[in-house]
């Protein structure tokens, strides 16, 4: 057996190549969702299939897996980052080793075409244009689940890629009582007799001015534009193409300020997480978030716990009013705070208020579980979607474009991804409570537009660790306790109880 230091050098060299291949694929994906001409979809699918196949081949190469065997037997310090790096690498290689190369290539090609079909179906409000592609993607995802799951529950096999250690049963145990709390709070608000208006947010907001505000907002939070950029897409996202290239996107609506402004806050939260990974983890398996739930906690923390807070707007409103004098010239900060926190059952997940947001996620969680298991036929998805929206939110989508076609996730094969959004909400509140306890001047800092202290706390307790720790351990280290949904429920009841005059 070679010297441990020599084995580690060989491992890091191969890990860097694997990281570069993933980054190249991510760059192609970013381009497809921003600037690529639609006619290039087929060729792009082949390009992505090639990169994914090359990476899959290296992940499953006996020389690489043998190197992992060597390092696992070498007695690395279990508390050290090298041990964590090998653990994460083994997890990825083992999953890849159970995936036939043919399936990897087919998924890349199919999701490339499904993405285009979804965009066309959404723009024309025709689910029938997307249904065959969705059925094909689901069949491939079932095959993937059977390959990597070792005979267990299909949904658990897919979920584990995004949220290590989670299962459909464990999620249901958290989500069912949470659903009851949020449905009850939504009903209490509806029955409060208090009406908050967001009319001021639905005036004329020129796109050029929105872009300048969005860029300034992201930069003020700490998003580094020297290592990133802001572009336009149909469905906003953040993507890390390397340690010094983490890009965000948004979408603009000239008659509604929220999508661009809060979408940018959200994606900046994701991007700042990736910009904060420890430099020594770059181009290694640890240069990733601990899980998508942890990732989402960062976006929701900046979007909601900061971006929809009163201290934030007490400091930020004068600049916003100056940017949009015609729309906001006669308004005050209290009215804006009420407007951005207006609660109303709505159709669009990314525009949902905090009280109802998780209910949008639970609809998707239940439906994708049924679709994957074959309990729900693809052709029946629109009706099932509408039924759950009536049941949980009391509204019915008037079209599929505003219903089951609004998200891109299933088109790109992200089955099992949606629950991480709800987990992110829970973690965001718990992390923010811990930060508030450690930073007694936090509200004053936010009010003055100084986010460096909060970002520093997040860098130290969350960002720099990358995927060194499993999600549960990271939460314990950062907050001193296990994941507890009570923090989120208490936050919602306290904030919205005050806004809506609830006891």
Domain ranges of the chain: 4-125, 168-500
- Whole-number Å distance between alpha carbons of 478 and 482: 10
Joined together, the tokens standing for residue 161 give: 């890629």
User: Which three-class secondary structure state does DSSP give residue 248?
Assistant: strand
50-67 residue pLDDT tens: 999 999 999 999 999 999
Residue 154 pLDDT > 90, yes or no?
yes
What stretches of 216-319 adopt beta strand conformation (E)?
230-232, 238-242, 245-250
Identify which of 190, 273, 262, 121 has the alpha carbon closest to the alpha carbon of residue 500.
190
Q: Kindly calculate the radius of gyration of the chain based on its CA atoms and give it in whole angstroms.
A: 23
Tokens standing for 291? 């899980």
| Burial class (CB within 10 angstroms; exposed 0-12, middle 13-18, buried 19+) of 292 | buried
168-500 classified as CATH 3.40.50.12780: no
The whole-model pTM stands at 0.91
- Are residues 263 and 294 in contact, defined by beta-carbon separation less than 8 angstroms? no
- Look-up of token digits 């398996």: 285
pLDDT value for 377: 98
Task: Note the pLDDT of residue 503.
Answer: 74
List the catalytic residues: 267
Supply the pLDDT for residue 121.
97
For residue 202, pLDDT beyond 90: yes
Q: Are strands 238-242 and 245-250 parallel, antiparallel or unpaired?
A: antiparallel
Looking at residues 349-363, what average pLDDT do you find?
Answer: 93
Alpha helix ranges (H) inside 324-448 = 325-328, 333-340, 354-373, 381-393, 419-438, 442-447
Interatomic CA distance for residues 341 and 275, integer angstroms: 29
Cα distances (Å, whole numbers) of residue 286 to 15, 23, 56, 79:
10, 14, 18, 14
Residue 2 reports pLDDT greater than 80: no
Angle between helices 452-461 and 258-275 (to 10 degrees): 50
Q: Which long-range contacts (CB under 8 A, 24 or more apart) does 251-254 make?
A: 252/207, 252/210, 252/211, 253/205, 254/204, 254/205, 254/206, 254/207
Sign of the dihedral defined by the CA atoms of residues 284, 287, 293, 296, in that order: negative
In this structure, the strands spanning 230-232 and 245-250 are: parallel
Q: What confidence category does residue 101 fall into, taking pLDDT thresholds of 50, 70 and 90?
A: confident
Pairing relationship of beta strands 230-232 and 238-242 according to DSSP bridges: unpaired
Query: Model confidence at 1, in pLDDT bands (50, 70, 90)?
Result: low
Contact 481, 429 (CB under 8 A): no
Angle between helices 292-300 and 471-479 (to 10 degrees): 40
């Amino acid at each position: 057996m070679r010297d441990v230091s020599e084995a580690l050098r060989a491992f890091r060299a191969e890990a860097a190549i694997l990281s570069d291949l993933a980054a190249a694929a991510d760059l192609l994906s970013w381009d497809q969702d921003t600037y690529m001409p639609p006619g290039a979809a087929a060729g792009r699918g082949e390009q992505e299939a090639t990169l994914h196949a090359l990476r899959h081949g290296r992940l499953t190469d006996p020389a690489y897996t043998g190197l992992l065997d060597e390092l696992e037997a070498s007695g690395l310090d279990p508390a050290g980052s090298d041990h964590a790096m090998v653990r994460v690498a083994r997890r990825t290689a083992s999953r890849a080793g159970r995936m036939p190369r043919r399936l990897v290539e087919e998924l890349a090609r199919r999701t490339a075409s499904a993405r285009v079909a979804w965009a066309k179906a959404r723009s024309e409000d025709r689910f029938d244009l997307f249904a065959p592609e969705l059925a094909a993607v689901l069949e491939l995802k079932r095959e993937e689940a059977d390959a990597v799951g070792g005979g267990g529950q299909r949904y658990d096999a897919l979920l584990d890629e995004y949220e290590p250690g989670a299962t459909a049963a464990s999620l249901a145990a958290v989500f069912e009582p949470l659903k009851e709390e949020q449905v009850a709070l939504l009903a209490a608000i509806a029955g409060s007799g208090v009406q908050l208006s967001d009319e001021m947010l639905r005036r004329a907001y020129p796109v050029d001015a929105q872009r300048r505000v969005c860029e300034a907002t992201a930069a003020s939070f700490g998003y580094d534009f020297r290592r990133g950029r802001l572009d336009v897409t149909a469905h906003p996202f953040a993507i890390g193409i390397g340690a010094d290239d983490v890009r965000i996107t948004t979408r603009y609506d000239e008659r509604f300020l929220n999508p661009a402004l809060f979408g940018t806050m959200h994606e900046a939260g994701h991007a700042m997480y990736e910009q904060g990974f420890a430099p020594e983890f770059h181009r290694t398996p640890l240069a990733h978030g601990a899980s998508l739930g942890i990732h989402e906690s960062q976006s929701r923390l900046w979007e909601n716990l900061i971006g929809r807070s009163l201290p934030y707007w007490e400091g930020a409103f004068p600049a916003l009013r100056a940017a949009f004098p015609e729309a906001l010239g006669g308004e005050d900060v209290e009215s804006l705070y009420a407007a951005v926190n207006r609660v109303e059952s709505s159709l669009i997940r990314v525009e949902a208020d905090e009280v109802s947001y998780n209910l949008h996620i639970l609809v998707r969680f239940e439906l994708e579980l049924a679709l994957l298991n074959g309990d729900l036929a693809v052709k029946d998805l629109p009706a099932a979607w509408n039924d759950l929206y009536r049941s949980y939110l009391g509204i019915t989508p008037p079209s599929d474009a505003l219903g089951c076609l609004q998200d891109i996730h299933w088109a790109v094969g992200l089955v099992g991804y949606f629950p991480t959004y709800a987990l992110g909400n829970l973690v965001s509140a718990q992390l923010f409570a811990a930060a508030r306890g450690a930073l007694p001047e936090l509200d004053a800092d936010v009010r003055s537009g100084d986010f460096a202290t909060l970002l520093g706390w997040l860098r130290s307790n969350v960002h720099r660790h990358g995927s060194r720790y499993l999600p549960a351990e990271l939460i314990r280290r950062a907050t001193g306790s296990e994941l507890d949904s009570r923090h989120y429920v208490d936050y919602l009841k306290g904030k919205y109880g005050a806004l809506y005059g609830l006891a």
